[in-house]
Amino acid sequence: MAESELLKIESPAFTDDYVQDIKSILNAAKAQSYRAVNSTMIQAYWLVGYRIVEQEQNGEKRAGYGEKVIENLSKALNSEVGSGMSAAHLWNCRQFYMTFQDKEILYTLCRELSWSHIRLIMRLDTEKERNYYIEQSKKGAWSVRQLERNIKTDMYHRVLQNQIESNDNNEVAVNTPESQIKDPYILEFLGIKPDISSTEKDIESAIIANLEKFLLEMGKGFSFVERQMHIKTETQDFYIDLVFYNYILKCFVLIDLKRGSLKHQDIGQMDMYVRMFDSLKKGEDDNPTIGIIFCADKDESIVKYSVLNESEQIFASKYKTFLPTEEELSLELERNRRFLEEKYSEKKE
């Protein structure tokens, strides 16, 4: 093997542990080999899909012809190359080619994602939605299970619903507090049943125990700072449930957990926390602090006729400790969309 080829093998930093160094070298080689095989097979599946479509287009134009092509091909291949080429797999190859005909996207898929990732993504309805999950899977190194969960909870629409048109040119306002906050948050991984009474402390403890999953649900740029952060004034002591920092927004994010419905006093309390934090904790280079009230439910009239309606620092978001059905989530997002449209139309006036 040429020296240039040897240099292509990813070599970990050496340590004083001789055995561990050897294991690291072999594991790195295995990972690199897997990526190469994965990339080659994904390209092959795309080409298989292309060839199937080409055969269909050149064949007879009658109902059921596509099904016959794939059934016959499956039988022929299984007798020649083994049992892996089922009709279902060949349909997936066909859909893969039909969905991703852009060579640049195909290159990204081959290099970054597995076939299991691709099968989930290619079933999504729109190109924008597919591109979102491709990009986030790549950046976040999402496992197949994480990707499936985020698709089921409609992360795409929950993230984008707050990214409003910022001007007459229809440019989307991103990397703003509104764009980073979801509603609702889906926290089924906490293991808290909706029909069982649990306290805010229980929810807080479950979040800490599942911090990695919670950060994934929160979105890009969040890092954990402290639980029950103590803020002290000259006369009183206060404790903030959860404090995070978002390096994209360059600001602290305070979370106040509420087991029940949103109340006016919850909004007043968070308003006070944000003002105190800005005064006592925020650094000179930090942007204004954001406060999010996590509540099980909220009355939109309370939101509309409180400081939440005008504030750019305080937000109220529902959380669900179970996976909602597609219909439930769709209705929730539709309610939020109508409320936001009304809110921002009032601001423009």
Q: Whole-angstrom Cα distance, residue 214 to residue 128?
A: 25
pLDDT digits (tens, 9 = 90+) for 321-333: 888 888 888 888 8
pLDDT digits (tens, 9 = 90+) for 111-144: 889 999 999 999 998 999 999 999 999 988 899 9
pLDDT at 9 exceeding the cut of 80: no
- 165 and 146 within one domain: no
Model confidence band, residue 166 (pLDDT cutoffs 50, 70, 90)? very low
pLDDT digits (tens, 9 = 90+) for 38-48: 888 999 999 98
Name the domain boundary from 154, 182, 210: 154
- 255 and 337 within one domain: yes
Task: Print the domain residue range for 138.
Answer: 3-154
Q: What is the DSSP string of 328-344?
A: HHHHHHHHHHHHHHHHH
Residues facing residue 251 across a β-bridge:
246
- 188 and 139 within one domain: no
Q: Which residue has the higher pLDDT, 19 or 313?
A: 313
Q: Strand, coil or helix: what is 181?
A: coil
- 164 and 121 within one domain: no
Name the domain boundary from 137, 154, 171: 154
How many domains does the chain fold into? Answer: 2
pLDDT at 13: 66
- 273 and 206 within one domain: yes
Name the domain boundary from 120, 154, 188: 154
- Lowest-confidence region among 20-29, 58-67, 216-225, 294-303: 58-67
- 291 and 209 within one domain: yes
- 145 and 56 within one domain: yes
Average model confidence (pLDDT) across the chain: 82
- 340 and 197 within one domain: yes
User: CB 122: neighbour CB atoms within 10 A?
Assistant: 16
- CB 229 within 8 Å of CB 240: yes
- 209 and 73 within one domain: no
- 87 and 197 within one domain: no
- 77 and 33 within one domain: yes
- 178 and 109 within one domain: no
CATH number reported for the structural domain that contains residue 272 in this entry: 3.40.1350.10
Q: Strand, coil or helix: what is 86?
A: coil
